[in-house]
Amino acid sequence: MDLIANLSLGFGVAFTPINLMYAFFGCVLGTLIGVLPGIGPVATIAMLLPATYALPPVSALIMLAGIYYGSQYGGSTTAILVNLPGESSSVVTCIDGYQMARKGRAGPALAAAGLGSFFAGSVGTLIIAAFAPPLTELAFKFGPAEYFALMVLGLIGAVVLASGSLLKAVGMIVLGLLLGLIGTDVNSGVARFSFDVPELTDGIGFVVIAMGVFGYGEIISNLSQPEHEREVFTASVTGLFPTKQDFKDMAPAVLRGTALGSALGILPGGGALLSAFAAYTLEKKIKGRPGEVPFGQGNIRGVAAPESANNAGSQTSFIPLLTLGIPPNAVMALMVGAMTIHNIQPGPQVMTSNPELFWGLIASMWIGNAMLVILNLPLIGIWIKLLTIPYRLLFPAIVLFCAIGVYSTNNNTWDIWMVAIFGVIGYVFIKLGAEPAPLLLGFILGPMMEENLRRALLLSRGDWSVFVTRPLSAGLLAAGALLLVIVLLPAVKNKREEAFVED
């Protein structure tokens, strides 16, 4: 079996002491930022990207991946104990998780989230291992027209994910695409929109945008609101283990959440957030056993399903990145950046040209998930203590890490001035209710889209119908159109708005 040979290669890579160490480091850091509200995986990965220059590429990616899925674990802790989503994907976990904690059942809620996440993470890893090779085969059949169509589909997916107005999200994507075009045009060598500033001919660094908008913008906005009174249920975390009845209730919910999350994670624009929302909605629709605690009052299924789903989704969202080289969400967009830093061109050729990287990363995800269960369940006390750190000690540290990270990308103060500008822009976005995640995705995809559009139309001699006459490309565009129609249907539209209002 190829799969077993591949996985054993992967585990061979992942089990080296250095990679184990970086996986562990990533998981700890991921849990940490997951637990702390106000800082998410996007800003953290952006901050740490420059620091990975010195590492071997496999170790760097293993660590960054660990931060992403680790933050999904940590986010649930805060959601359950403080009723604040530590991560955006834990928003729905708050609803039932916090109610369980209030009833003195914080332990079982944390266990349900942790064990569900571990199960989902393991399944997600297996799905990547099983589905990546055939998808890679398919990817080699992709021409520029298909890539362009796929990116359009991905960007539409990102719109569906955005919580505010659809039109604004589309606008943010286009704005991101435009920002991505700043710099030297690879085909003609013309420096576009650079205003004769030498630093701008290289384009704007995505680290700068990510940190400015997600780091500084968020901090400024957080500070403008009075600090939430945090009611932490520290004393009540006793009796971690769920009862037999809890297990019976949560097992099917975990399975459903995992299945749904895995499927939605692969979709362009999908990932942890969408998966968690969908899983909670599904769980509410399914009738439980008679006499069960109603949803919204501490139903264990309402914790297990979305937590499994967000973990499965965060794992499988690596599939489009690893097979097609196309990032499905903002975190994956940063992973593209991490790969390019190490001179790895993301895409189907990664698996053949860097098999140890590809399989090592996948194997490390399973190891990381196992580490996370240990980190999050027996050691929960440490993380709870962290929750008592006030924000006023945290935000100067975040500002510092952003500034240091941004400087070390190029050892150039230019980037520090740029991040200041994007910090202001990020705050403007928040004030205007425009979501920045689609912007970052557009920014990464901008140059790729232009390149593929040019090539496709060059091959077809300027005939735009090439996008609909090639079956694969037509299919992808049709899927995108279908997605848009579904979202715009009045019934779905109202549901979607309702779902996002709940947070």
Residues that bind other proteins (CB under 8 A): 50-51, 54, 165, 167-168, 170-171, 174-175, 177-178, 181, 185, 187-188, 190, 192-193, 216, 219-221, 223-224, 392-393, 395-397, 399-400, 402-404, 407-408, 411, 413, 416-417, 419-420, 423-424, 427-428, 431-434, 449-450, 453-454, 457-458, 460-464
Residue 165 or 236: the one with the smaller Cβ distance to other proteins is: 165
> In angstroms, what is the minimal distance from the CB of 100 to other proteins?
32
Residue 40 or 313: the one with the smaller Cβ distance to other proteins is: 40
**CA proximity to 340, closest of 325, 355, 360:** 325
**Which of helix, strand or coil describes residue 37?**
coil
Residue 175 or 338: the one with the smaller Cβ distance to other proteins is: 175
Only one residue has tokens 């050892």, namely: 411
**Element at 25 (helix H, strand E):** helix 17-35
> In angstroms, what is the minimal distance from the CB of 276 to other proteins?
26
Q: How far apart are CA 228 and CA 330, in angstroms?
A: 27
> In angstroms, what is the minimal distance from the CB of 23 to other proteins?
17
Decide if 435 contacts 171 (C-beta within 8 A): no
Residue 419 or 437: the one with the smaller Cβ distance to other proteins is: 419
> In angstroms, what is the minimal distance from the CB of 170 to other proteins?
6
**CA proximity to 272, closest of 44, 65, 88, 440:** 88
Q: How far apart are CA 324 and CA 141, in angstroms?
A: 11
Residue 168 or 342: the one with the smaller Cβ distance to other proteins is: 168
Residue 240 or 416: the one with the smaller Cβ distance to other proteins is: 416
Q: DSSP character for 270?
A: -
Amino acid at site 302: G
Decide if 107 contacts 240 (C-beta within 8 A): yes
Residue 79, Cβ neighbours under 10 Å: how many?
A: 32
> In angstroms, what is the minimal distance from the CB of 365 to other proteins?
24
> In angstroms, what is the minimal distance from the CB of 415 to other proteins?
9
Residue 58 or 128: the one with the smaller Cβ distance to other proteins is: 58
> In angstroms, what is the minimal distance from the CB of 38 to other proteins?
13
Residue 184 or 281: the one with the smaller Cβ distance to other proteins is: 184
**CA proximity to 77, closest of 503, 380, 390:** 380
Residues in the chain: 503
Q: DSSP character for 389?
A: S
Only one residue has tokens 């298909």, namely: 146
Decide if 492 contacts 278 (C-beta within 8 A): no
- DSSP per position, 151-199: HHHHHHHHHHH-SS-HHHHHHHHHHHHHHHH-EE-TTT--EET-TT-GG
> In angstroms, what is the minimal distance from the CB of 212 to other proteins?
9
Residue 242 or 446: the one with the smaller Cβ distance to other proteins is: 446
Q: How far apart are CA 428 and CA 432, in angstroms?
A: 6
> Which tokens go with 344?
């790895």
**Which of helix, strand or coil describes residue 375?**
helix
Residue 290 or 390: the one with the smaller Cβ distance to other proteins is: 390
- The half-sphere exposure of 157 on its side-chain side, counting CA atoms within 13 A, is 29
Q: How far apart are CA 303 and CA 299, in angstroms?
A: 7
Residue 126 or 394: the one with the smaller Cβ distance to other proteins is: 394
> In angstroms, what is the minimal distance from the CB of 496 to other proteins?
17
Decide if 34 contacts 73 (C-beta within 8 A): yes
> In angstroms, what is the minimal distance from the CB of 390 to other proteins?
10
> In angstroms, what is the minimal distance from the CB of 152 to other proteins?
13
Q: How far apart are CA 347 and CA 355, in angstroms?
A: 13
